[in-house]
Structure 1
């Protein structure tokens, strides 16, 4: 007689004071603090806990409160995930810096940078407490993380992945993401990426677009990239519309900003993704009557991956971010 025994169902996923059953999804509010007015502030989390075993991946955005692009990336990714077919678990945190997000501010009310406050402390500053909550309830339960960012105020970034490209697993996921460029980026003290790596997770940081903007291309690249990473980890099936001969990302291991050598009104002459060489003219500075006072030239060969959007600049201001591509290996 054939056995009628069923396989052991997958365990539920614990987060906060709730448990999410296998094959289901749930939204959870993790308490952060209470406002002076008496209202409660919570960290919004959505858990999609698949029926089948697999990796646990978190995706987060808005660690800086003015970086709204990643919120839309997460919305689109989560809309297509089903707990009935997912092989593993996805934990989505669309807004980490809730207080900054409500006011369109990069920082927290005490002007602390949340992305310099990890791993945090349960009894530290507000930033430290939020970081500790995120590490305890999200990062500690995940194998892989994708941290979504945009450029700082009055700057814009080419869609790019920043990661530890010397780690084989992280490199594989960076290549799978498929952004135009992947940059081997050093770890910053107090950053989520550093704290999560120390906790044993592989982390990709996606940079694209401008603060306080929804831009079609950075969002589309981000959505497709997150989906490709989930497919590379076998949480979902590969995307049928993904081109089989998709170009490999450009790899870079060094980058730097060309800075203004004088003060004036900037007229930019290059665009994101443009290839430049040492000495190429990137733009110029004029006085208020339109007289050209200084030219801006590239100080290295590479690809333009970041630009200032501020027309008024002072000496020393960062203007154009150039990444130097890694030379291809010689064919033997």
Structure 2
């Protein structure tokens, strides 16, 4: 069915069949240079859902930005029906500075829904939530691990949400974690607007990993195919296995300060007592093994070569659901 309905973002009207890049300008740089956040909109002439792919809420999480870039570069964002909105870099200030936060020191993913006259981060949150999200039916927000922590590719969704679980099954990342919404997060505020949002985590900050990128791009294609929005020219790779659902997990913390020697068990299922790493001092005086406290999958690893006592170094699952309930 052909659509005759226009949509408006930041005062710009986009008709069915049109594509448009809208530059979001909320504030200038301190040298008065303009700072534009491109919002790339592609619309089919045929009516359908509106899907958002976003990244860069944390400016140093480059892998998510690369995933959305590839969706655009490969023209996956040109829908067979409906509308696809791509925002590769939401926090352009942080991206320029290779920083997680906004220049005001705030974490954008903790200030939603924001306010029109609040801090810089709060103003951005307000405009995203009022100008874009009321239009959106489905969304995937792409993230990476903070600091030196590397996340295996995973979808995070709120527990007991049947609609999101179906979408997670379709996206089919290697892992799916049930996690509660955090107050002030983009995901929490979007859910209150009835947007069906998946959060993708993969890789670490200030890094591009081709395997992580491929998982994100392929998952997005599967989601669009499920919604009958993917152009048939795009090939969907055969799924090797179903996503592994993780209901409970916990952090293993360093018992000593020193040099961390990782044994590369990330993404693997390991047995209780398996040596995940060793911690040594720089002077050859001691070496202590880091052992798994239980059976489980290692879904995050701290790849920093130096750790302090109490640092979170591995995230391990505690119970596993095969997703077939």
TM superposition score normalised by structure 2: 0.94
Q: Which residue of 1 aligns with 2:50?
A: 56
Instruction: Please report how far the alpha carbon of residue 248 of structure 1 lies from its aligned counterpart in structure 2 after TM superposition.
Output: 0.7
Equivalent pair of 1:121/1:132 in contact (CA under 8 Å): yes
Does 231-240 or 271-280 show the bigger shift? 231-240
- SS for the counterpart of 1:258 is strand
Q: Which residue of 1 aligns with 2:219?
A: 225
Equivalent pair of 2:76/2:230 in contact (CA under 8 Å): no
- SS for the counterpart of 2:272 is coil
User: Could you say what the CA RMSD is over the residues aligned between the two structures, in angstroms?
Assistant: 2.0
How far apart in 1 are the matches of 2:324 and 2:10? Answer: 52
How far apart in 1 are the matches of 2:250 and 2:200? Answer: 18
1:111-136, Cα deviation, whole Å (9 max, x unpaired):
11000011111111111101011111
1:223-262, Cα deviation, whole Å (9 max, x unpaired):
001111111112125654421x531100001111100011
2:279 maps to 1:290:
no
How far apart in 2 are the matches of 1:9 and 1:288? Answer: 66
How far apart in 2 are the matches of 1:165 and 1:149? Answer: 19
Q: Which has the larger radius of gyration?
A: 1
1:143-174, Cα deviation, whole Å (9 max, x unpaired):
11100001101111100001124211111111
Does 175-184 or 293-302 show the bigger shift? 293-302
Q: How does 1:98-109 map to 2 (within 5 A)?
A: 98-109=92-103
How far apart in 1 are the matches of 2:322 and 2:149? Answer: 30
How far apart in 2 are the matches of 1:99 and 1:153? Answer: 18
Does 82-91 or 280-289 show the bigger shift? 82-91
Q: Which residue of 1 aligns with 2:24?
A: 30
Equivalent pair of 2:268/2:298 in contact (CA under 8 Å): yes
Q: How does 1:1-332 map to 2 (within 5 A)?
A: 9-81=3-75, 86-237=80-231, 240-243=235-238, 246-328=240-322
How has the CA–CA distance of structure 1 residues 176 and 11 changed in structure 2, closer, same or farther, with 3 Å as cutoff?
A: same
1:81-105, Cα deviation, whole Å (9 max, x unpaired):
4787521111111101110000100
- SS for the counterpart of 2:35 is strand
Instruction: Please report how far the alpha carbon of residue 43 of structure 1 lies from its aligned counterpart in structure 2 after TM superposition.
Output: 2.3
Instruction: Please report how far the alpha carbon of residue 78 of structure 1 lies from its aligned counterpart in structure 2 after TM superposition.
Output: 2.1
> Unpaired runs of 5+ in structure 2?
none
How far apart in 2 are the matches of 1:24 and 1:83? Answer: 13
| Aligned pairs, number | 324
Instruction: Please report how far the alpha carbon of residue 8 of structure 1 lies from its aligned counterpart in structure 2 after TM superposition.
Output: 6.3
- SS for the counterpart of 2:66 is helix
Equivalent pair of 2:260/2:279 in contact (CA under 8 Å): yes
> Unpaired runs of 5+ in structure 1?
1-6
How has the CA–CA distance of structure 1 residues 321 and 20 changed in structure 2, closer, same or farther, with 3 Å as cutoff?
A: same
